[in-house]
Amino acid sequence: MKILKTQTLRGPNYWSIRRHKLIVMRLDLEDLADKSSNEIPGFYEGLVKVLPTIEEHFCSLGRRGGFLERVQQGTYMGHIIEHVALELQELAGMPVGFGRTRETSTPGVYNVVFEYVDEQAGRYAGRAAVRLCRSIVDTGTYPKAEFEQDIADLKDLRANASLGPSTETIVKEAEARKIPWMMLSARAMVQFGYGIHQKRIQATLSSYSGILAVELACDKEGTKTILQDAGIPVPCGTVIQYLDELEDAIEDVGGYPIVIKPLDGNHGRGITINIKNWQEAEAAYDLASAEAKSRSVIVERFYQGSDHRILVINGKLIAVAERIPAHVVGDGRSTIEELIEQTNRDPNRGEGHDNVLTKITIDRTSISVLERQGYTLKTVLRQGEIAYLRDTANLSTGGIAIDRTDDIHPENIWIAERVVKLIGLDIAGIDVVTPDITKPLREVGGVIVEVNAAPGFRMHVAPSRGLPRNVAAPVLDMLFPKGTPVRIPIIALTGTNGKTTTTRLTAHIYRQTGKVVGYTTTDGIYINDYLVQKGDNTGPQSASVILKDPTVEVAVLETARGGILRSGLAFESCDIGVVLNVAADHLGIGDIDTIEQMAKVKSVVAETVSPDGYAVLNADDPLVAAMAERVKSKIAYFSMNPDNPIIQNHIRRGGMAAVYENGYLSILEGEWTLRIEEVVNVPVTMGGMAPFMIANALAACLAAFANGVDIEAIRQGIRTFSPSANQTPGRMNLFKLSSFHALVDYAHNPAGYEAVGGFVRNWSGEKLGVVGGPGDRRDEDLILLGKLSAQIFDCIIVKEDDDTRGRERGEVADLIVKGMLQEKPDARYQTILDETEAIETGLDRVENGGLVVIFPESVSRAISLIKKRQNHSDS
């Protein structure tokens, strides 16, 4: 077996609209291609032994053990690998269920598709599944050590890739609210919402966290001063820079016990509390000053009580947790070292921040904390006796948290909310030391030790004891208060031909509404009239450039087959999904071999429209019209023929449509006809002479109308959008030269040739074609281009692209000529492989009043050749 290619899908896709995270592994079964699992001796038994939990897979039989029955009766290896890849992920703690396996048109080569939670782990699971099955085939088993390593590696990949625990809770809440999110490429920032409505977070900092507030919170001394001035109880303390100031400082704060900590520390690093004598104080000073970036050290009175964290979001107290430092409880038998080991065996304890709790570590700090309590690691504690391993209660050093949200005294709530306002933070964690949180701080001598920006959520979401609190909800309530928009309208367009033209036209219509329009096309990414990036930008990466742009108010996205197949769509739903047409092009590429399969690819766009949006479908194209059955949204049809039965039927039921009637582009809604404009006033239709452009214009108008754009804006848009070489290079660019015309068009498939032919046939003079075709198309497609050329033109020059896309030079031209002669044995033609030479010859040779139609590889080169002659004839 050999893995030929692995693709990672991240959005709605060919295999599933709903399951976005899929691995597609193109697998050559080689020697196992013709072997069913029941024909491989010992395979079933081996698989059950290595992976007994696969019993849970129902598979098509719909019952427990269903998949294993299929293995026993005989199924093909691709299908087994799909199930094994799923099961491996499952065993590594990543719940997945969806899978599909289909043979490609190459015998023995399969596409194995399965769900993932983490991309890297998903790809790993695919490779491991192949390895595991190969081993069972060859040896009847898979070594236990290998298997365990695979699961451990999968767990690692998952742990390394996952978001931090606080970020993850916010992202989960966003998903529950159907708020789209995406990772930005720097600083682990997450974007919620699209375009102009986006908001960001980074851990628990948000778009609203002000720099003044964050910096103030990071300055413990400054924070205390501000709070003290406002009458808030804070520890009595002072800041020193040198050891020889320490003695006076201790006196200033009222003598022992004291606390020494770095001025600008966090996570409890460098802090010593409850210092009772000079020797401890000196050591604590060294520890703190080494941790402090500023070398400055805080000396504070030590306050009795336990540590509490109060979380305040958007001015409101959300949760309170009491934190207890890392500790172990004696059992009368075990040493402290053994107790630590036992405590760390709790599956809830992980490394660093990646689990609910953190493992307790044995280090210099813990040993010295033990010493101060009179213990060593070898001490055996009595039943119930507690030994602390840390002074401070941070979860990240092994502490635990108990929810106390319902216990806090109302006066303390008032103080907490006031404190956060004084600092100016949107999301803040207040550290309070008090013997009793249920009593007012003032009454029991509690103090506010500090205020944290970017507080961790872990202790509130998953407290060791008490009620878990949904603290992510108020964050999203703050970022997106009820009734505020999260998304921008997304208009996605696909089809075999006319995508770029229709995308540009649609964007131009939206421009008339005064909104900032971001759009992607084969030529580049644009925002309003400006180019963001040149080149073929019709995939999900380009779409997300627009969706991430904070200025964009409307996204119009050309969505091509390549990107859909490669990684799926960039958005989980859109407002308008336009499918222009499905014609034979690109067949045989990416395992899409039939036009029906291609229709399924394009249908992804229509099926991704949200239920209250519209799929805009071409009623004249049966493959497109048939997509109506699969969409979840409302439907609007367009047609060149108002009598098209689909249109008639649809409007009879009150539906919406756009048609070409009596020379007008019109919207039909129920019984009413709303005329937008006469085609003679729509430059893109070349005065109505280019029928396919009328179809594109109908689609653009309908898309905008269905999305609520004013009819006036639509009219204004189609009147002012012209097919000039500047606005839409390569799309029906007509040039007038001294005694003839030249047309440059990008048509490169049979449907495109026919479309242009529809215009050319309306031409009265000689029709000369300069034709070619892309080398990566099938022979029969190129032959068909030849046939069509013979039908359309009086005289033909056959040329080739500079890039032959893998074919021998001359091969494409031969195939085109072959088709041409099949259609018209006496066709007038000449083969000139070089494109420039071919164009020049065509322009030289055409008769007066004639039309030279050029289908170039390089549109800009063709246009500049023509312009050179225009300049000549001008002078």
Which residues here bind Mg ion, judged by CB under 5 A?
A: 431, 450, 499-500, 522
- Which DSSP helix (H) or strand (E) runs through 55? none
- Decide whether 365 or 497 has the Cβ nearer to ligand ATP: 497
The number of residues in the chain equals: 875
Residue type, 266: N
- Decide whether 66 or 305 has the Cβ nearer to Mg ion: 305
Task: Give 875: exposed, middle or buried? Use CB within 10 Å, 0-12, 13-18, 19+.
Answer: exposed
Stretch that binds ligand ATP, among 46-54, 202-210, 670-678, 689-697 (CB under 6 A): 689-697
Minimum distance from residue 144 beta carbon to ligand ATP (Å): 43
- CB-based contacts of 338, cutoff 8 Å, min separation 6: none
- Decide whether 261 or 458 has the Cβ nearer to ligand ATP: 261
Instruction: Restricting to residues 238-297, name those near ligand ATP by CB under 6 A.
Output: 259, 261, 265-269, 271, 273
- Decide whether 223 or 567 has the Cβ nearer to Mg ion: 223
Minimum distance from residue 523 beta carbon to ligand ATP (Å): 8
- Decide whether 88 or 428 has the Cβ nearer to ligand ATP: 428
Please tell me the number of Cα atoms within 13 Å of 636 on its side-chain side: 29
Q: How far apart are CA 321 and CA 461, in angstroms?
A: 10
- CB-based contacts of 750, cutoff 8 Å, min separation 6: 583, 584, 585, 781, 784, 785, 788
When binding is defined by CB under 6 A, the residue of 79, 499, 715, 777 that contacts ligand ATP is 499
- Decide whether 274 or 870 has the Cβ nearer to ligand ATP: 274
By CB under 6 A, is residue 814 in contact with ligand ATP? Answer: no
Q: How far apart are CA 788 and CA 793, in angstroms?
A: 9
- Decide whether 89 or 397 has the Cβ nearer to Mg ion: 397
By CB under 6 A, is residue 836 in contact with ligand ATP? Answer: no
The one of Mg ion, ligand ATP, none whose footprint includes residue 147, by CB under 5 to 8 A per kind, is none
Report whether the peptide linkage leading into residue 481 is cis, meaning its omega lies within 30 degrees of zero.
no
Minimum distance from residue 542 beta carbon to Mg ion (Å): 12
- How is residue 346 written in tokens? 């709790």
The one of ligand ATP, Mg ion, none whose footprint includes residue 213, by CB under 5 to 8 A per kind, is none
Asked whether the beta carbons of 627 and 606 are under 8 A apart, the reply is yes
- How is residue 553 written in tokens? 């108010």
When binding is defined by CB under 6 A, the residue of 731, 767, 787, 799 that contacts ligand ATP is 731
**β-pairing verdict for 306-313 and 427-434:** antiparallel
- How is residue 70 written in tokens? 């299929």
Stretch that binds ligand ATP, among 80-88, 404-412, 526-534, 742-750 (CB under 6 A): 742-750
- Decide whether 47 or 583 has the Cβ nearer to ligand ATP: 583
- CB-based contacts of 138, cutoff 8 Å, min separation 6: none
Instruction: Restricting to residues 572-631, name those near ligand ATP by CB under 6 A.
Output: 580-581
3-class DSSP string for 509-530:
HHHCCCCCEEEECCCEEEECCE
When binding is defined by CB under 6 A, the residue of 756, 785, 817, 832 that contacts ligand ATP is 756
By CB under 6 A, is residue 639 in contact with ligand ATP? Answer: no
- Nearest-10 Cα torsion for 783, 784, 790, 792: -150
The one of ligand ATP, Mg ion, none whose footprint includes residue 36, by CB under 5 to 8 A per kind, is none
By CB under 6 A, is residue 537 in contact with ligand ATP? Answer: no
By CB under 6 A, is residue 397 in contact with ligand ATP? Answer: no
By CB under 6 A, is residue 695 in contact with ligand ATP? Answer: yes
- How is residue 348 written in tokens? 């809830």
Stretch that binds ligand ATP, among 128-136, 417-425, 445-453, 466-474 (CB under 6 A): 445-453
Q: Which residues pair with 297 in a beta bridge?
A: 240, 262
Residue type, 680: V
- Decide whether 420 or 747 has the Cβ nearer to ligand ATP: 747
When binding is defined by CB under 6 A, the residue of 14, 116, 285, 692 that contacts ligand ATP is 692
What is the SS3 assignment for 375? coil
Task: Give 60: exposed, middle or buried? Use CB within 10 Å, 0-12, 13-18, 19+.
Answer: exposed
Asked whether the beta carbons of 753 and 789 are under 8 A apart, the reply is yes
By CB under 6 A, is residue 793 in contact with ligand ATP? Answer: no
When binding is defined by CB under 6 A, the residue of 307, 322, 426, 621 that contacts ligand ATP is 307
By CB under 6 A, is residue 685 in contact with ligand ATP? Answer: no
- Decide whether 190 or 698 has the Cβ nearer to ligand ATP: 698
Kindly list the distances between the CA atom of residue 860 and the CA atoms of 28, 821, 838, in Å, as whole numbers in the listed order. Answer: 42, 31, 15
The one of Mg ion, ligand ATP, none whose footprint includes residue 606, by CB under 5 to 8 A per kind, is none
When binding is defined by CB under 6 A, the residue of 755, 770, 846, 863 that contacts ligand ATP is 755
Minimum distance from residue 103 beta carbon to Mg ion (Å): 31
The one of ligand ATP, Mg ion, none whose footprint includes residue 261, by CB under 5 to 8 A per kind, is ligand ATP
Minimum distance from residue 435 beta carbon to ligand ATP (Å): 11
Instruction: Restricting to residues 13-52, name those near ligand ATP by CB under 6 A.
Output: none
Q: How far apart are CA 625 and CA 622, in angstroms?
A: 5
Minimum distance from residue 488 beta carbon to ligand ATP (Å): 23
Closest CA to 578 of 560, 597, 554: 560
Q: How far apart are CA 522 and CA 501, in angstroms?
A: 10
**β-pairing verdict for 656-661 and 634-639:** parallel
When binding is defined by CB under 6 A, the residue of 82, 621, 745, 835 that contacts ligand ATP is 745
Minimum distance from residue 754 beta carbon to ligand ATP (Å): 7
DSSP E strands in 626-687: the ranges are: 634-639, 656-661, 664-669, 672-678
Residue type, 798: V
Closest CA to 310 of 298, 301, 321: 321
Query: How many CB atoms sit inside 10 A of residue 630's CB?
Result: 13
Binding mask 159-198 for ligand ATP (x = CB under 6 A): ----------------------------------------
By CB under 6 A, is residue 403 in contact with ligand ATP? Answer: no
- Which DSSP letter does residue 30 get? G
By CB under 6 A, is residue 449 in contact with ligand ATP? Answer: yes
Count of residues binding ligand ATP (CB under 6 A)? 44
By CB under 6 A, is residue 355 in contact with ligand ATP? Answer: no
Q: How far apart are CA 451 and CA 415, in angstroms?
A: 12
By CB under 6 A, is residue 684 in contact with ligand ATP? Answer: no
The one of ligand ATP, Mg ion, none whose footprint includes residue 846, by CB under 5 to 8 A per kind, is none
Kindly list the distances between the CA atom of residue 21 and the CA atoms of 16, 115, 191, 570, 762, in Å, as whole numbers in the listed order. Answer: 9, 6, 19, 12, 49
The one of Mg ion, ligand ATP, none whose footprint includes residue 692, by CB under 5 to 8 A per kind, is ligand ATP
- Decide whether 259 or 592 has the Cβ nearer to ligand ATP: 259
DSSP E strands in 435-594: the ranges are: 447-453, 490-494, 517-520, 524-527, 530-534, 554-558, 574-579
**In whole angstroms, what separates CA 839 from the centre of its chain?**
44
Residues in touch with ligand ATP (CB under 6 A): 235, 259, 261, 265-269, 271, 273, 300, 302-303, 307, 392-394, 431, 433, 449-450, 452, 495, 497-501, 522, 560, 580-581, 692, 695-696, 731-732, 745-747, 751-752, 755-756
